[in-house]
Structures are given as C-alpha cells and as structure tokens.
Chains A and B, each alone.
Chain A
C-alpha cells in the first residue's frame, strides 16, 4: 500500500510543520515515509505546501502530481489542488478561508471551518494545522490520534513542551469535528 498526502495553505499556517508531524507519525508506525516541502522563493508570502508519501515498502516517488488526501487551508490552495486529488480521494477544506463549492463528483469533500474552530474552541488560530491533522486521522483511518500525539513530541522543540496539552486538544477537536455543530 502507498498513500499520498498534500497539505497546503498560506505561509504561516504551519503546513510544513503539520506535514512533519504526519510523517513522524508514519515513521513511528514503522512505515516507509518521505516529506517534501515547497521551498525558497515560493515561501515568501505565497502559498506553501508539503507532500508526504507513506508506503509499506519503498516510497515509489517523492514528488507526485496526485494525492489521496489533500488538506487545503485557504482558497488559493483549494483552487490549485482540487484537480490533484486522485479519483476516489478526499480533500479536506478549511471552509473558514475557502468557499464551500464542489466542482468534482469523483472525490470526497470534507468542509470544516478549521480556523474558526481553532479560534473559538482553542483561542488560537495557529492551532489550525494540528486540528486539521485530527480531521485527517478520522477521515483517512490511516493514522491514530495516539500516534499523532507521539509524533508531536518528536516535532515540538524540547523547550516548548508546555505547548503539548493545547496541541493534543487540537488533535481531538479535529478528530471530533463531525460531532460538533458546524456554523455557516
């Protein structure tokens, strides 16, 4: 089995970090995994993305033009990456910053007001990225919340472990997104 993931959004939304947590999670689960970012000039104010490939055996290619799961945290990424979703795949859309609109009928759409939830339930929009991973965990069933918790410990700097409880809360909130009344 091999699965491809892309996380995309504005610079500053923590998409690279979210990808790093996801990739660490797959490593903890003893999967083969690669992470690849957009870098350089692309990072200056524009959209940022990273792709994660998880496989049972060797990763077949690091950079691909399709993915099974794509998380888009803003409108620009939604516009760009809708066509990248593999047939039967899923796109998780941050409906706080992107319009709820389905243009394909061969993929699954999951609209969640991620930024709004992060602001209202966690008091910090910077938690959007980790919250999105919680949603991915639920939707994909390819990685558990407890693995993602361990992965967060690998990624968060040892001096900033005080941030862990809030991040775990964000993961859980994302995982339970469909139990909550969604606004709008």
Chain B
C-alpha cells in the first residue's frame, strides 16, 4: 500500500489514487460496499482509515453506505462513499435527499457496463445517471470527470472542496479503465481552504437553538421558496465552476468532444486527422455538471461540425446538441461498452463524416 504523501512520482492504480487523495483531502469517514471495478477504494480505506484513527464501515448495502455518508456529512465531517453503476442506481434516493438537505456528500462513481447487472468492463453509460439523476425532484449533483490517473487525484481534492463550498453532493465520475489502470502520479498536499460549517452542522444544541436538517416541507409555498433558493445556488455553481479543456479549436473545422478516459483517444485521433489535412480540434468537459454549454455554443459559431465520442449509446451528445442549439450538426462516434474506440477508428470515421 502506498504512502499517503510521497512527494515524488509513483506508479499507482486509479482506484488507489482516488482513495489516497481522499485521505489527503481530510476525508474522516468512508462507507462502502464492494463492487467491481472499484473495490480497491474500499480495500485501501479499510486499512488506511483505521491506521489514521478515522472511520471506515463495511456497510450492509450501498443503500446503507450512502445514508451513512449523509449522516456523517450532517455533522460537518468530510465523508465519502464509492461504488459503481448498478449500485449507484441503488443510491439515487439518498442523493436526492442529500441535494435537498444540502449536504457535502462526496461519491466516487466508477462506471461499468449496464443496464442491469451489465458487466464489469469500463463504460461511460452513466452520464445520464450522474447528470440527470435517478432520484426524485429537481436537483443537481456537481459532477467532475477525470481523464487521467493524475486527474483522479486532483479532481478528488476538488470534489471535497466543491461539495463543502456549495453544500452540494458531488460525484467524481471515473470509469473502469481509469480505476484499473496505473500511471505515474504525484500527490501534492490538499490545495483548497477548509470551509467553515459551524452555521449548519449538527453538533448538539448546546447554547443555541436545535437544528433540523430535512427535506420535508409540508406546505407547498415553503417548497417553492426552497427550490428557488436551491436553483440560485446552482446558478452560482454554473457561473463559477464550469471547467473544460480544449486543444486545437482555434482553426478547427471539426471539434471532437469526449469526457473522461476517452479524451486520450480523441486527442490521438485529432493528431491523425491533422496529418491527413483535416482541421480537427478536441474539447473535454471537466465538469459534466455544470456543463460548458456556453463555450460549446461559442465554438459552434465558427466550426462546421461537432462530434461526440463516447463509450455508450450516445448520452453526452444530447447536452452538446442543447449547447449548440442547432447552429451546427452534431454527430456521434461511439462504442457501446468496453475500451474507448481506437484512435485510428475514430480518425477514419471523422474522415467519413467530414
């Protein structure tokens, strides 16, 4: 098992990188239930949290795990759970509660094949699950999508920060490829300020009125006021936290868009296309919510075509279409599940679509 803070590059699996980063971010409680391809996170935590005198619980189910996380977060603690696809599905009710309760839940979602039990291979089939939600009511989860193992570290830090800054459940959306692969990584100290939670955390009603964290608003008007307030917060998140990466878009006729581990392959595909004389750029939403709608809309003013490259049947493409609002055609290159499409295959399909 790796050291917490190494100060040098080490070769590490994505899952361990996420877990170690969570420890360095100050995560005090981890609650989880095993599921491939993310079980290493719980395995790492079981040893490390005990060693550090922090909390680890092998929960009886993902239902219990995410609700334990909510309980810990309600006291202001940094707490997290991690799981995968079909088991994240089990957690949707609690995520809706956490959004409504405005609690800083951090959830790591390492995507595998679906629907149903699906399979254990990498997939990006839970873009909808993460960004559109399976829970009831109007709510948003902040969603960060790392594309490399180093980013698994950096965005785990950021997930804890944003969750606490906005009191909003935050998902780190990785996939089986990122979780299982190894790459050199550097662990730097947690770079964000600690957020004061003394105004809302449940610590016992000593010397103050008791606090209730709840999502139950018996009166219709109360719920209207609450939702307006909640969505004002989302607007702030959209203004302040939308993050993306783009390469070679300045002169591009075609822009390839991918999130997560697929980005590596479209970068390579774009290079191949450029060698063939096609002006191709790449774009990657780092935050899936908030989605970089505005920037994509700007790009649509000067590119001829946008192509979404995904490992699913086409999910993010819907958000891209919303972004460009009919200005340019939006096409899909995809694989249903498994490894991202090979760069040569992507390049060949781009040529056909160009």
Verify whether A and B have any Cβ pair under 8 Å.
Answer: yes
Query: Could you say which residues of chain B place their CB within 8 Å of the CB of A34?
Result: 181-183
**B120 near A: Cβ within 8 Å?**
yes
Q: List residues of chain A with CB within 8 A of the CB of B177.
A: 36, 62-63
**Chain B min CB distance to A117 (Å):** 28
Residue B290 lies at the interface, judged by CB distance under 8 Å to chain A: no
Q: Which residue from A37, A40, A60, A64 sits with its C-beta under 8 Å from B36?
A: A40
Which A residues are CB-close (under 8 A) to B343? 60-61
Asked if A41 CB lies within 8 Å of chain B CBs, one says yes
| Contact assessment for B120 and A39 in the assembled complex, using a CB-CB cutoff below 8 Å | yes
B340 within 8 A of A: yes
**How many inter-chain contacts with C-beta < 8 Å in the A-B complex?**
59
CB of A157, distance to nearest CB on chain B (Å):
9
Task: Give the segment of A20-28, A67-75, A119-127, A133-141 that binds chain B.
Answer: A20-28
Q: Are B180 and A39 in contact (CB under 8 A)?
A: yes
Q: Counting CB contacts under 8 A, is B156 at the interface?
A: no
Q: Tell me the bound Cα distance from A37 to B14 in angstroms.
A: 12
In angstroms, Cα B180 to Cα A27, docked, is 18
Q: Determine how close the nearest CB of chain A comes to the CB of B324; give it in whole angstroms.
A: 27
Measured between beta carbons, the chain B residues less than 8 angstroms from A23 are: 11, 182
What is the size, in residues, of chain B's interface with A at 8 Å between Cβ atoms?
22
Whether the Cβ atoms of A61 and B264 lie closer than 8 Å is yes
**In the assembled complex, B265 has its CB within 8 A of some CB on chain A:** yes
Smallest beta-carbon distance B137→chain A, Å? 35
Contact of B10 among A37, A62, A154 (CB under 8 A): A154
Does A33 contact B184, Cβ atoms closer than 8 Å? yes
Tell whether B261 is near chain A: CB-to-CB under 8 Å.
Answer: yes
**Whole-angstrom CA separation of A59 from B177 in the bound complex:** 14
A79 close to B (CB within 8 Å): no
CB distance from B116 to the nearest CB of A (A): 16
Q: Does B268 contact A (CB under 8 A)?
A: yes
B195 at interface by CB-CB < 8 Å = no
User: CB of B353 within 8 A of chain A?
Assistant: no
A61 and B268 in contact (CB under 8 A), knowing A20-B11, A24-B11, A33-B11? yes
Q: Kindly list chain A residues whose C-beta atoms are within 8 Å of the C-beta of B180.
A: 36-37, 39
Assuming the contacts A20-B182, A35-B181, A35-B183, asked whether A60 and B264 have C-beta atoms less than 8 A apart, the reply is: yes
Choice from B120, B183, B265, B340 contacting A40 with Cβ under 8 Å:
B120
User: Within 8 Å of chain B (Cβ to Cβ): is A83?
Assistant: no
In the bound complex, residues from chain B placing their C-beta under 8 Å from that of A20 are: 11, 182
- Taken residue by residue from 37 to 59, chain B's Cβ proximity to chain A (1 for < 8 Å, 0 otherwise) reads as 10000000000000000000000
Which residues from A are CB-within-8-Å of B265? 60-61
| Min CB–CB distance B35 → chain A (angstroms) | 10
- In the assembled complex, the Cα of A64 lies from the Cα of B268 at a distance in Å of 13
- CB–CB A62/B264 < 8 A: yes
A60-B268, A61-B264 known; A35 vs B11 contact (CB < 8 Å)? yes
Tell me the chain A residues, 30-48 only, with Cβ under 8 Å from chain B: 33-37, 39-41
Q: Within the complex, what minimum Cβ distance (angstroms) separates A16 from chain B? A: 10
Chain A, range 49-95, C-beta contacts under 8 Å to B: 58-65
Q: By CB atoms of chain A within 10 A, which of B37, B182, B267 has the most?
A: B182
B10 cross-chain contacts in A, Cβ below 8 A: 154
Proximity bits, B148-180, A CB within 8 Å = 1, else 0: 000000000000000000000000000011001
A121 to B66, CA, bound (A): 54
CA distance A58 to B183 in the complex (A): 11
Q: B36 — which chain A residues lie within 8 A by C-beta?
A: 39-40
Tell me whether A27 and B11 are in contact (CB under 8 A): yes
Chain B: residues with CB nearer than 8 A to chain A?
9-11, 36-37, 120, 176-177, 180-184, 261, 264-265, 267-268, 339-340, 342-343
**20 extra interchain contacts, Cβ-Cβ under 8 A, other than A24-B11, A61-B265, A65-B342?**
A20-B182, A27-B11, A33-B184, A34-B181, A34-B183, A35-B11, A35-B183, A36-B177, A36-B180, A37-B180, A39-B36, A40-B36, A40-B37, A58-B268, A59-B183, A60-B265, A60-B343, A62-B261, A63-B177, A64-B342
- 19 residue pairs of the A-B complex, CB under 8 angstroms, read A20-B11, A24-B11, A27-B9, A34-B181, A34-B183, A35-B11, A35-B182, A36-B180, A39-B180, A40-B37, A41-B120, A59-B183, A60-B264, A61-B265, A61-B340, A61-B342, A62-B177, A63-B339, A64-B342
Spell out A's residues near B (CB within 8 Å): 20, 23-24, 27, 33-37, 39-41, 58-65, 154
